[in-house]
């Protein structure tokens, strides 16, 4: 297969710079055939600038008026998309698609279609394709999606051909000098002492000497020594500032889940073995089943008592998510013939929002209410949203991200007045604040055991007796739980749930007061950091949750840097996502503040010492990230060439801009991204005699952005102008195990290097 057997087709590209970036990606990956369908601007100087060494690909690029013209002569077509499409053919991931394209190109020329940056390919354009490739996209950077997609596909095509992807750097660095090795050994000894490292068979002195001999035999080069010293510095920083707490990592994520109370664990253990009450509660014909049933009914009464309900009003489920689904789907579908409207809010948990979205696909109408800036839903807004065909209002009691409490009592009263069913997700309220279902006028309440020191995998749904006829099950297969929730009851989990509720009820008042004091202590400390914004300020909040946004830092990087604290950014069920919190966006927070939020949640085992440690750790890490940001002034030593050491009189042979010592030194800086964007990177280079002498960086962005920028600065010393960019974003991502969905951000890093390249005078 030749590279000319695979054609890259860009359909209506709107950014000329992206065309240049695509050409550069193709050149790096040995692809030559580029076709542009009705480009908005081409040729264009920005395309040429971004191509950076791939001008021949741009020169040969053909411009046509339609997709059929672009793919003429190609017997196999692949199309790309960044979103789900209803197509009859199979959607492949990038690697699988690349293997298929390479295989097909051995018998017929192949083409890969890429749509416009913001809109992608139209359905009629997809009809020409044999396969569809799903490409992850960065919503915050639509203009980068095209370049990222081509880079990713081109990289995988090269891999599929069996080629080895390598950077374009010079040979290995020279071996480290004895002085550099001595500094490394001293640094290592210092770190070993600080972390109190001991080996069972070696004294500290003998161990250090042994490691010294090992490093000497390894014949490390200069770059390897720099990398090792960087690792040691990171270990020191983490140990001193955000490492292990007084007795290990400090858990401040009680809103995500709680540890099982020892009394709960003991009660559960008594229901697991032959000697205990392990039986199936449905087996009423023998003592084992009857004993298990009795334990379950005791637990049912304990759970009901926590919320002021009667035992027969409790339905056991697998958790609050199932309880929410059972209420929303079960009630809506049971009444679909006469009522098809639901009212909820934009800040509900996904376990409420996603069932509502499912019902929208089934033809239901859903009204999503927007909170005020403090996170509260106005009961009058609920009243105004009600319609004659409204079947359900679902408003949570306590928000899982910001801890704000809604006026559930007022909302429940107006729903009761209008004859509309009212459901409240109380997963973050049960056991934290007093609950009385009668006073709140609720018809359905969801809550779960693992938020109140019980086991995971069990929850409950309160169903008001008068509301039961209006709901149908969403699963079938048994008559358990009065026909609403089939399946064998998990005796040990339910028993643990009951004991957890009993303990929570007993400790509720005291814990409320204690946690309120700790929360205020925490906020006082964090507010002193500066640039801290309390999310939910001015609204009543549950005692144990504090959500704070920090100016000038990115939340994922902040959490990653706080290795000694177990905390969340965004909601617990969705903290793996790098997207800004939809809850904070609904409150009116801008993208930067929504992206920089921390949720610290306190619980039964949190102490004042834990809070004080957390304040100091956050203070240090926020300061570190702000200092690293391009928004901060770069140290003067980064922005100007260093003065010559004891320089003699000026040397007439020194090139313009030299320092009078016979050497030509230039300080360069290049950046990409910018304030208010997801990624902002700036590189500072010191060039001496046409070679990079030193490199530094400043960056704002996710941990992978910082990781790659730091890694690149270690690769740059010793490189000439033609070697400055070592490889491609795809190769960097592979080398550092960066998730593919983060690849778009690495293009900003690459652009910052190319900005340096444009400022580097050509010889």
Residue 34's closest CA among 154, 141, 200? 154
Q: Quick one: DSSP state of residue 90?
A: P
Q: What is the DSSP string of 290-341?
A: HHHHHHHHHHHHHHHHHHT--GGGEEEESSHHHHHHHHHHHHHHHTTTT--E
CB atoms within 10 A of CB 174: 10
Residues in a beta bridge with 253: 601
Q: Which residue has the tokens 């309120």?
A: 516
Determine if the pTM surpasses 0.85: no
pLDDT at position 338? 92
C-alpha separations of 398 from 173, 348, 435 in Å: 58, 9, 12
pLDDT at position 124? 77
d(CA 662, CA 656): 11
Domain extent listing, the chain = 3-160, 178-242, 250-259+508-628, 278-505, 658-759
d(CA 494, CA 456): 10
d(CA 565, CA 559): 8
**Both structure tokens of 556:** 């994922």
Q: Which residues 6+ apart lie within 8 Å of 456 measured at CB?
A: 257, 319, 449, 450
Does an H or E element contain 91, and which?
A: strand 91-92
d(CA 28, CA 146): 16
C-alpha separations of 108 from 10, 77, 384 in Å: 20, 10, 63
Q: What is the DSSP string of 639-694?
A: HSPPPPTT--SPPTTSPTT--SSS--EEEEEEEEE-TTSS-EEEEEEEEETTEEEE
Task: Please state which CATH number belongs to domain 658-759.
Answer: 3.90.1010.10
Do residues 616 and 624 make contact, with C-beta atoms less than 8 angstroms apart?
no
CB atoms within 10 A of CB 553: 25
pLDDT at position 654? 31
Task: Please state which CATH number belongs to domain 178-242.
Answer: 1.10.8
d(CA 723, CA 280): 71
3-state secondary structure 368-406: EECCCCCCCCCHHHHHHHCCCCEEEEECCCECCCCCEEC
Residue 429 φ/ψ, nearest 5 degrees: -105, -40
**Both structure tokens of 574:** 């969705």
Q: What is the DSSP string of 180-210?
A: HHHHHHHHHHHHHHHTT---SSS-HHHHHHH
Q: Is the peptide bond before 549 cis (omega within 30 degrees of 0)?
A: no
Kindly name the residue from 74, 426, 441, 573 that is annotated as catalytic: 573
C-alpha separations of 441 from 414, 426, 542 in Å: 9, 14, 20
Residue 143 φ/ψ, nearest 5 degrees: -70, -20
Residue 45's closest CA among 55, 30, 31, 32? 55
The topology under which CATH files domain 3-160 is Alpha/beta knot (3.40.1280)
C-alpha separations of 362 from 336, 349, 359, 366, 392 in Å: 10, 21, 5, 11, 16
Do residues 434 and 306 make contact, with C-beta atoms less than 8 angstroms apart?
no
> What CATH number matches the domain at 250-259+508-628, 3.90.1150.10, 3.40.720.10, 3.90.1580.10, 3.40.50.620?
3.90.1150.10
The three-class DSSP label of residue 159 is helix
d(CA 650, CA 255): 67
As a whole number of Å, the end-to-end CA separation of the chain is 38
Q: Which residue has the tokens 């077509």?
A: 77
User: For 278-505, which CATH class?
Assistant: alpha beta
Whether 573 sits among the annotated catalytic residues: the reply is yes
Q: What is the mean pLDDT of each run of 10 residues along the chain (763 residues)?
A: 76 85 82 90 79 81 92 90 58 83 89 82 81 70 66 83 49 66 76 56 58 71 66 54 57 96 92 89 90 94 97 96 96 94 97 97 97 97 97 98 98 97 98 97 98 97 90 87 89 96 96 96 96 96 97 93 85 52 94 92 93 94 94 76 44 33 78 91 93 94 94 94 91 91 91 93 79
């Amino acid at each position: 297969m030749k590279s000319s057997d695979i054609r890259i087709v860009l359909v209506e590209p709107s950014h000329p710079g992206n065309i240049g970036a695509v050409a550069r990606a193709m050149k790096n990956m040995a692809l030559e055939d580029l076709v542009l369908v009705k480009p908005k601007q081409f040729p264009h100087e920005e395309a040429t600038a971004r191509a950076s060494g791939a001008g021949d690909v741009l020169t040969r690029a053909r411009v046509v008026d339609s997709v059929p013209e672009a793919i003429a002569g190609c017997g196999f077509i692949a199309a790309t998309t960044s979103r789900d499409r209803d197509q009859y053919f199979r959607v492949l991931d990038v690697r699988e698609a690349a293997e298929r394209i390479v295989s097909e190109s051995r018998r017929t020329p192949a083409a890969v279609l890429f749509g416009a940056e913001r809109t992608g390919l139209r359905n009629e354009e997809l009809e020409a394709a044999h396969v569809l490739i799903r490409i992850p996209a960065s919503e915050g950077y639509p203009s980068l999606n095209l370049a990222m997609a081509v880079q990713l596909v081109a990289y995988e095509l090269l891999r599929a051909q069996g080629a080895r992807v390598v950077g374009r750097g010079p040979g290995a660095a020279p071996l480290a000098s004895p002085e550099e090795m001595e500094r490394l050994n001293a640094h290592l000894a210092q770190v070993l002492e600080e972390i109190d490292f001991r080996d069972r068979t070696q004294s500290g002195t003998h161990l250090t000497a042994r490691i010294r001999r090992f490093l000497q035999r390894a014949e490390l080069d200069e770059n390897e020594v720099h990398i090792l010293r960087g690792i040691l510095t990171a270990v020191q920083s983490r140990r001193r500032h955000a490492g292990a707490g007084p007795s290990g990592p400090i858990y401040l994520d009680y809103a995500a889940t709680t540890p099982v109370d020892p009394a709960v664990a003991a009660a559960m253990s008594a229901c697991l073995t032959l000697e205990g009450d392990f039986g199936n509660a449905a087996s009423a014909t023998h003592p084992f089943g009857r004993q298990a049933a009795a334990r379950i009914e005791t637990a049912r009464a304990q759970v009901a008592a926590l919320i002021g309900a009667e035992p027969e009003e409790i339905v056991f489920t697998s958790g609050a998510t199932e309880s929410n689904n059972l209420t929303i789907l079960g009630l809506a579908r049971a009444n679909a013939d006469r009522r098809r409207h639901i009212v909820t809010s934009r800040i509900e948990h996904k376990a409420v929002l996603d069932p509502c979205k499912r019902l929208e696909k089934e033809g239901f109408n859903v009204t999503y209410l927007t909170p005020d800036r403090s996170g509260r839903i106005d009961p009058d807004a609920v009243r105004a949203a009600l319609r004659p065909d409204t079947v359900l209002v679902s408003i949570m009691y306590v928000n899982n991200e910001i801890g704000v409490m809604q006026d559930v009592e007022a909302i429940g009263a107006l729903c009761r007045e209008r004859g509309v069913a009212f459901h409240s997700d109380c997963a973050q309220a049960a056991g934290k604040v007093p609950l009385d279902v009668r006073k709140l006028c609720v018809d359905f309440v969801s809550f779960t055991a693992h938020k109140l020191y019980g086991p995971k995998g069990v929850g409950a749904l309160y169903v008001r007796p008068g509301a039961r006829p209006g709901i149908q099950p969403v699963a079938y297969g048994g008559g358990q739980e009065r026909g609403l929730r089939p399946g064998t009851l998990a005796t040990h989990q339910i028993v643990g749930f009951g004991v957890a509720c009993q303990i929570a009820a007993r400790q509720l008042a005291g814990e409320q007061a204690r946690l309120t004091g700790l929360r205020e202590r925490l906020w006082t400390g964090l507010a002193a950091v500066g640039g801290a914004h309390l999310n939910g300020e001015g609204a009543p909040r549950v005692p144990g949750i504090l959500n704070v946004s920090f100016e000038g830092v990115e939340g994922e990087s902040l959490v990653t840097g706080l290795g000694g604290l177990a905390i969340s950014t965004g909601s617990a069920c969705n903290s793996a996502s790098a997207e800004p919190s939809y809850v904070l966006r609904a409150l009116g927070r801008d993208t930067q503040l929504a992206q920089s939020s921390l949720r610290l949640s306190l619980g039964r085992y949190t102490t004042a010492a834990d809070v004080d440690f957390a304040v100091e750790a956050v203070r240090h890490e926020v300061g570190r990230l702000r200092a690293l940001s391009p928004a901060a002034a770069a140290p003067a030593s980064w922005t100007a060439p260093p003065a010559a050491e004891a320089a003699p009189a000026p040397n007439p042979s020194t090139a313009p801009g030299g320092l009078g010592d016979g050497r030509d030194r230039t300080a360069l800086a290049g950046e990409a991204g910018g304030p208010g964007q997801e990624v902002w990177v700036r590189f500072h280079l010191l060039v001496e005699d046409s070679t990079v002498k030193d490199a530094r960086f400043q960056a704002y962005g996710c941990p992978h952005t910082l990781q790659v920028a730091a890694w690149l600065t270690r690769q740059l010393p010793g490189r000439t102008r033609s070697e400055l960019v070592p490889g491609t974003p795809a190769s960097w991502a592979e080398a550092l195990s960066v998730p593919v969905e983060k690849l778009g951000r690495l293009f900003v890093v690459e652009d910052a290097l190319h900005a340096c390249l444009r400022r580097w005078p050509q010889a």
